Amino acid sequence: RKGGLKAKSEKMFGLMDGFLKNDSVSLQKDILDHVEFTVARSRFNFDDFEAYQALAHSVRDRLIERWHDTHQYFKKKDPKRIYFLSLEFLMGRSLTNSVINLGIQDQYADALTQLGFDFEILAEQEGDAALGNGGLARFAACQMDSLATLDYPAWGYGLRYQYGLFRQIIVDGFQHEQPDFWLNFGNPWEIERVHVSYPVKFYGTVEEEVLNGKKCKIWIPGESVEAVAYDNPIPGYGTRNAINLRLWAAKPSDQYDMESYTTGDYINAIVNRQKAETISNVLYPDDRSYQGKELRLKQQYFFVSASLQDIIRRFKDLHKNFDEFPEKIALQINDTHPSISIAEVMRVLVDEEHLDWSKAWGIACRIFSVTIHAVQPEGLEKIPVDLLGSVLPRHLEIIYEINFRLMEELKKSFDQDYDRLSRMSIIEEGAVKSIRMANLSLACCHTVNGVSRVHLETLKTRVFKDFYELWPQKFQCKTNGVTQRRWIVVSNPSLCSIISKWLGTEAWIRNVDLIAGLREYAKDPDLHTEWKNMKKVNKMRLAEYIETLTSVKVSLDAMFDVQIKRIHEYKRQLLNILGIIHRYDCIKNMDESDKRRVVPRVCIIGGKAAPGYEVAKKIIKLCHAVADKVNSDPDIGDLLKVVFIPDYNVSVAELVIPGSDLSQHLSTAGHEASGTGCMKFLMNGCLLLATADGSAVEIAEEIGEANMFLFGAKVDEVPALREKGTTLKGSLQFARVVRMVRDGYFGFKDYFKSLCDTVEDGGDFYLLGHDFASYLEAQAAADRAFVDQEKWTQMSILSTAGSGKFSSDRTIEEYAEQSWGIEPCKCPF
């Protein structure tokens, strides 16, 4: 029989044409085949969307080819692998990124031109894959790109939500949410693997059993749901490697309860089974508070359980002994969301593989590392004991056991310090007894990563002080980064060519440190000319987009000043708007000669508010109210325009960032764990106006404080300022602008009252009043710098040149070396 198989596969190889061909004619042929046979349209009659689908399928074929080879190779080499578990991935579009990483962009552009299509127009047909909320999820996506590019043997695991992050529509200046049914028109970038599926169990009871004379626990689950794999190939740049992002979807289980069918309740039995699918239905849209929701817990366990079954199956294909587990597997948990995986690994090793507890725990402690993205202790997840006990009864027992042993160990070091023990306990005793998922992670993980230096300090000295004192060696800084492939090569092709031309190489796309070579030319007049042209082209694109969406015409000579990110009080979009009101008020009170000295501005704000976050929604409305007033005021003209860009997402960012002159990062110091938007602006040569928070501190070190506009209270000043209470209202100017809003100058007086209250009346937790004067100074400094266009361009070049550290390639290398202990595994071409 073996010989037969061999003959068969030889025959199949004989029939294969080798690798898919990438010359323009072959690509055209492939696209047309997909028009006819995949999209099932006539070659003589198909529209742009259908052309996009056919194009995407031809790219997909090429992705699959590499993805197969990579997996074969990984299997053959069997290196230690990193499994990246994340509840969110914000991938955005795939087309352009894929053809660039595959190295066949020009061939495709050419093929399409021959067929009478334009690559860029077709690329616009693609919707965003928005399976995530914000920074955390986009960072996960950037990390996947770097893992693939640097040839690491990595897999991503997550959930395939049917509804991604809601679409934001604006009606009369108010945010409304619409479901994002992104799979409506099919998704060419995924591969459904109907045969890769695992049952995931919930509820039920735990019973004791005697096995080989040993007492053990078994979980008798009450519900089973099937997890089906959808694979998303992630191509690396400049390599044959394409890794896998495996997302799980819930399907009704095959095992069904005969009884409900025989009792005649056929319809209801089916309807109930169908409910299983709700687990992967929808992404939670609140990006940092989802405490105690049953569905959320089920989502977490669902993807964790399926992923671990998959990982263990793959391990067992080649290995028998679990002692080898830590040599072959590293598990990264992205924030505490997947931390139930710690209890699941213990359950599998102890209950199913029958390892004894301490051996199993020893293994768990060597495989897990965690990255914490939150700053505030309140942001850390807690799950009520009752809820966990009902959904996952055996896991609750396991967590209790982990905690019992943790407490025993702590007593050795801290003896009678009960306060400390209760702070470090995984179980929080309180009105609602809950499980602290962060403490569970800290007890087990060998590394706990902060996402910037400032953030790690906060973790060490505040959030996890007790744990730091016990295990200082666990705490590591891995400053975030972003991928220059998407954020320069895909989204800013003109900048990409300039960089390659002046450096004389494209090598920076894989080795971004080289970008520092631009410093040498920071004053070169020829580079300045090219740089300014690049900016102008990108601003034109952005201006057109703004006009189409909002009907506001903006002048290209104005400074494009941008703040795009989730709307949060701590991110202080309100500070920005109050600053705009101040600017408006000043211009209103100027005579004509003063007006001539004003630097014209286009203030652009974009971002979504969590559907239940009232204050954030009021901020969005205020932005529109101010825009309405300012944009229609004939005294103002082009000196000031205010624009709110609706439905901010990854592809909007790709358009906006390259077209901005200045970007704002205004978080109250100590509140932004890292910030990654700022890194994308930096790479694109946009100057930063920022507080000394998160990664901005490290950016200042790289490019020099003189090349950005820093302002506001410092991290260590904030607690004292809060203590003191800013009843002084900071400055007169601040009081005045808040009063304008209060008095109904922009309408909606009653509606904005509570918003004003948040920054006045002894409140102002985020210190807007305190930072306002310093903010205005930084804004004035930006104006002065903009007037001197040579100086500005030089600062802009130095920003790009100094952005090398903020590539996710650097971040991933640090993780690989310091946390995961993995080596590249490069598939030969």
Provide the binding-site residues for ligand GP0, judged by CB under 6 A. 133-136, 139, 287-288, 373-374, 379, 451, 480, 672-676, 694
Residue nearest to ligand GP0 (CB): 135
Name the catalytic one among 314, 373, 770, 810: 373
The β-bridge relationship of strands 687-691 and 223-235 is unpaired
Residue 617 bears catalytic tag:
no
Residue 665 bears catalytic tag:
no
Query: Given the complex with ligand GP0, which of 374 and 396 has the nearer CB atom?
Result: 374
Nearest to 757 by CA among 769, 746, 747: 769
Query: Given the complex with ligand GP0, which of 56 and 697 has the nearer CB atom?
Result: 697
Q: Are 619 and 574 in contact (CB under 8 A)?
A: yes
Closest separation in Å from C-beta 337 to ligand GP0: 9
HSE (CB half, 13 Å, CA atoms) of 821?
Answer: 13
Query: Given the complex with ligand GP0, which of 136 and 349 has the nearer CB atom?
Result: 136
Closest separation in Å from C-beta 613 to ligand GP0: 13
Closest separation in Å from C-beta 569 to ligand GP0: 13
Residue 566 bears catalytic tag:
yes
Helix, strand, coil content of the chain in percent (nearest 5): 55, 15, 30
The β-bridge relationship of strands 662-665 and 559-564 is parallel
Closest separation in Å from C-beta 133 to ligand GP0: 6
Closest separation in Å from C-beta 576 to ligand GP0: 17
Name the catalytic one among 565, 608, 621, 770: 565
Closest separation in Å from C-beta 292 to ligand GP0: 16
Closest separation in Å from C-beta 572 to ligand GP0: 13
Separation of alpha carbons 146 and 236, rounded Å: 7
Closest separation in Å from C-beta 371 to ligand GP0: 7
Separation of alpha carbons 219 and 150, rounded Å: 41
Separation of alpha carbons 447 and 370, rounded Å: 6
Instruction: Tell me whether residue 14 is exposed, middle or buried, using C-beta atoms within 10 angstroms of its C-beta: 0 to 12, 13 to 18, 19 or more.
Output: exposed
Closest separation in Å from C-beta 676 to ligand GP0: 4
**Two structure tokens written together for 396:** 């609750």
Closest separation in Å from C-beta 686 to ligand GP0: 17
DSSP string over 163-184 = B-SPEEEEETTEEEEE---TTT
Q: At what angle do helices 732-742 and 768-787 cross, to 10 degrees?
A: 100
Q: Are 149 and 237 in contact (CB under 8 A)?
A: yes
Residues in CB range of 1: below 8 A, 6 or more apart: none
Separation of alpha carbons 269 and 158, rounded Å: 29
Query: Given the complex with ligand GP0, which of 117 and 139 has the nearer CB atom?
Result: 139
Residues in CB range of 602: below 8 A, 6 or more apart: 546, 554, 555, 558, 559, 560, 561, 641, 643
HSE (CB half, 13 Å, CA atoms) of 491?
Answer: 28
Nearest to 368 by CA among 281, 308, 425: 308
Which of helix, strand or coil describes residue 731?
A: coil
Closest separation in Å from C-beta 644 to ligand GP0: 20
Name the catalytic one among 66, 81, 528, 566: 566
CA-based radius of gyration for the chain: 28
Residue 724 bears catalytic tag:
no
Q: Are 675 and 664 in contact (CB under 8 A)?
A: no
Name the catalytic one among 680, 729, 770, 805: 680
The β-bridge relationship of strands 205-211 and 214-220 is antiparallel
Residue 810 bears catalytic tag:
no
Name the catalytic one among 347, 568, 571, 572: 571
Residues in CB range of 288: below 8 A, 6 or more apart: 374, 379
Query: Given the complex with ligand GP0, which of 233 and 694 has the nearer CB atom?
Result: 694
Which of helix, strand or coil describes residue 190?
A: coil
| Identity of the amino acid at 666 | L
DSSP string over 461-489 = IIITHHHHHH-GGGEEE----B-HIIIII
The secondary element (H helix, E strand) that includes residue 717 is none
Q: What is the DSSP letter of 816?
A: I
Q: What is the DSSP letter of 42?
A: B
Sheet strands side by side (includes 427-428): 382-384, 434-436, 427-428
Separation of alpha carbons 269 and 221, rounded Å: 19
Closest separation in Å from C-beta 605 to ligand GP0: 16
Q: Are 742 and 722 in contact (CB under 8 A)?
A: no
Residue 571 bears catalytic tag:
yes
Query: Given the complex with ligand GP0, which of 156 and 393 has the nearer CB atom?
Result: 156
Query: Given the complex with ligand GP0, which of 28 and 371 has the nearer CB atom?
Result: 371
Query: Given the complex with ligand GP0, which of 140 and 312 has the nearer CB atom?
Result: 140
Residues in CB range of 187: below 8 A, 6 or more apart: 129
Query: Given the complex with ligand GP0, which of 66 and 288 has the nearer CB atom?
Result: 288
DSSP string over 280-325 = GTB----SS--TT-HHHHHHHHHHHHHHHHHHHHHHHHH---GGGH
Query: Given the complex with ligand GP0, which of 367 and 380 has the nearer CB atom?
Result: 380
Q: Which residues are the active-site residues?
A: 373, 565-566, 571, 676, 680
